[in-house]
Amino acid sequence: MTIYDRYKHLKFSSKGGVLTITLDQPPTNAVTAGMHEDFKTVFSTINQDPETKIVVITGAGERAFSAGGDVGEMVKLLDQPMAAVSSMREAADMLYGLLRLEKPIIARINGHAIGLGATLALFCDLTYAVETAKIGDPHVAVGYTAGDGGALIWPQLIGYQRAREYLLTGDPIIAKEAAEIGLITRAVTAERLDETVYGIADRLASGATFAINTTKQAINMVLRRQFESIIEAHNGLELMSHFTADHAEAAHAFLEKRKPNFTGK
């Protein structure tokens, strides 16, 4: 029995002070309602775990780190406004917890990171991806405002001009190019991903824990305060977009595997 046994929608493994969290819903590792619920409190639990010094988060399989929100669940939420409100609050709670995590967290981006999956990865302290992975925030492609963190973190990492192009179009970027412009820490071959991720994880785990943790916290202070000052407003904008005809059209079109017909309404 461990303190992580109560989390049923995430997979955990630990070695040498490094805790690995796996989004275990292959092949896409979409962030389900159950994962939302687990992410609300898991980072607080990690803060209370004296055995864990470093956290690695990744996706199961090789295809995706996480493809983001489950479009099937989006369709269900079209007629459930309060459930939509709760879902967006949970996404914010996940990032609140991540930014309040006292220990370094490394994103092991084993495949495509899309939407909320990209947001989750980009809010991590260090981000290492297979060079062929796609990273993108296509909220606009499903008629949504990029209000769950993307509109904050992309400009912080690559500047407003570049971020606007990716967020307003929803176009993804290949990890190798993402590393070149500073969106992620580094892109490597699939064969070198574990060596890179766990090499730095083990190095940090054997370092001066208090100094490393407090340096991480100092670096994130500005980002954390920016996030906490605007996330409710960003969530409000996204919630408004949830009730548009364009979002309903996009969600249905995705499931029907056709191009959406947007009307601007």
pLDDT in tens, the chain (265 residues): 589 999 999 999 999 999 999 999 999 999 888 898 899 999 999 999 999 999 999 999 999 999 987 777 777 777 777 888 888 888 888 999 999 999 999 999 999 999 999 999 999 999 999 999 999 999 999 899 999 899 999 999 999 999 999 999 999 999 999 999 999 999 999 999 999 999 999 999 999 999 999 999 999 999 999 999 999 999 999 989 989 999 989 888 888 889 999 999 9
The whole-angstrom separation of Cα 158 and Cα 182 is: 6
The whole-angstrom separation of Cα 8 and Cα 42 is: 11
- Domain extents for the chain? 1-192+204-265
Q: Angle CA(72)–CA(75)–CA(80) in degrees, nearest 5?
A: 125
The whole-angstrom separation of Cα 197 and Cα 127 is: 9
Give the sheet arrangement for strand 64-66, strand by strand. Answer: 64-66, 112-114, 134-136, 173-174
> Rounded to an integer, what is the distance from CA 206 to the centroid of its chain?
27
CATH class assigned to 1-192+204-265: alpha beta
Q: Where are the beta strands (DSSP E) in the chain?
A: 10-15, 18-23, 54-59, 64-66, 105-109, 112-114, 126-130, 134-136, 173-174, 186-188
- The DSSP bridge pattern shows strands 186-188 and 134-136 to be unpaired
